[in-house]
């Protein structure tokens, strides 16, 4: 079944796994390289609210920016959405602005080529197309964040999200600069204390998966 295209200005839970459940990451350098490519290809077109990289799959919570947000001086108008092409940042003009899904595809293709070369493998690395679910309410957003951060716990890589290095949980509780939309995430949980408290509770991943309609 063909996936619905990503739409400008919408929130999405994006996830994928290695083809035939093969590993995507073999060593720490692989995780670091993927995140570097993510910053190159995806950060210009989407805000990131949560992420986790597991050995053979990953999850992301993003908001695809509105087209007008690519302009440095003109603010997006919620009604008419007028933009001035002279202020376009990072793109020459609107006709050169690729559809959002293409930026994610470029990330996966670039990483696949790099990993294949690194470990001497051939062929597709990720399942296609990548999965995406539209998110349209704050309750769903919070459940996705809990689900993403607790994925390593569910798969028994650790006993608490704090112990897993390849997720956004550590950035959420840190004060170090980050591209992650940390303050927005904390705001959805009211405050940092409640954010931590919610993550300290035992999470029923199976129940959340049913809620998220996997």
Range 11-212: architecture per CATH: 2-Layer Sandwich (3.30)
pLDDT, residue 71, reads 58
> pLDDT of 56-88, one tens digit each?
999 999 999 987 776 543 444 444 333 333 333
> pLDDT of 15-51, one tens digit each?
999 999 999 999 999 999 999 999 999 999 999 999 9
pLDDT, residue 206, reads 77
Residue bearing the bigger pLDDT, 14 or 4: 14
> pLDDT of 142-188, one tens digit each?
999 999 999 999 999 999 999 999 999 999 999 999 999 999 999 99
- Where is average pLDDT lowest: 25-34, 53-62, 86-95, 203-212? 86-95
pLDDT, residue 14, reads 96
Is 58 within 8 Å of 50 (Cβ atoms)? no
Q: How far is CA 141 from CA 46, 93, 185, 189, in A?
A: 16, 32, 9, 10
Residues 11, 90: Cα–Cα separation, whole Å: 22
Is 2 a residue whose pLDDT tops 70?
Answer: no
Is 111 within 8 Å of 41 (Cβ atoms)? no
Q: Give the CA angle between residues 41, 60, 97 to the nearest 5°.
A: 30
- Quote the pTM value: 0.85
Q: What is the mean pLDDT of residues 88-111?
A: 74
């Amino acid at each position: 079944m063909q996936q619905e295209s990503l739409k400008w200005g919408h929130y999405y839970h994006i996830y994928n796994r290695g083809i035939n459940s093969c590993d995507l990451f073999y060593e720490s350098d692989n995780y670091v390289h993927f995140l570097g490519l993510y910053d190159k290809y995806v950060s210009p077109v989407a805000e990131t609210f949560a992420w986790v990289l597991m050995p053979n799959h990953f999850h992301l919570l993003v908001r695809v920016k509105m087209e007008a947000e690519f302009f440095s001086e003109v603010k997006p108008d919620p009604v008419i959405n007028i933009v001035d092409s002279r202020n376009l940042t990072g793109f020459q003009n609107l006709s050169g602005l690729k559809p959002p899904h293409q930026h994610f595809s470029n990330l996966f293709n670039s990483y696949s080529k790099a990993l294949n070369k690194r470990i001497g493998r051939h062929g597709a690395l990720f399942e296609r197309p990548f999965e995406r679910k539209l998110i349209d309410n704050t309750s769903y957003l919070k459940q996705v964040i809990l689900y993403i951060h607790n994925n390593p716990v569910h798969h028994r890589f650790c006993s608490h999200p704090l112990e897993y290095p390849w997720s956004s949980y550590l950035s959420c509780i840190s004060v170090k600069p980050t591209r992650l939309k940390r303050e927005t995430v904390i705001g959805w949980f009211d405050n940092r204390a409640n954010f931590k408290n919610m993550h300290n509770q035992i999470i029923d991943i199976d129940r959340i998966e049913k809620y998220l309609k996997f």
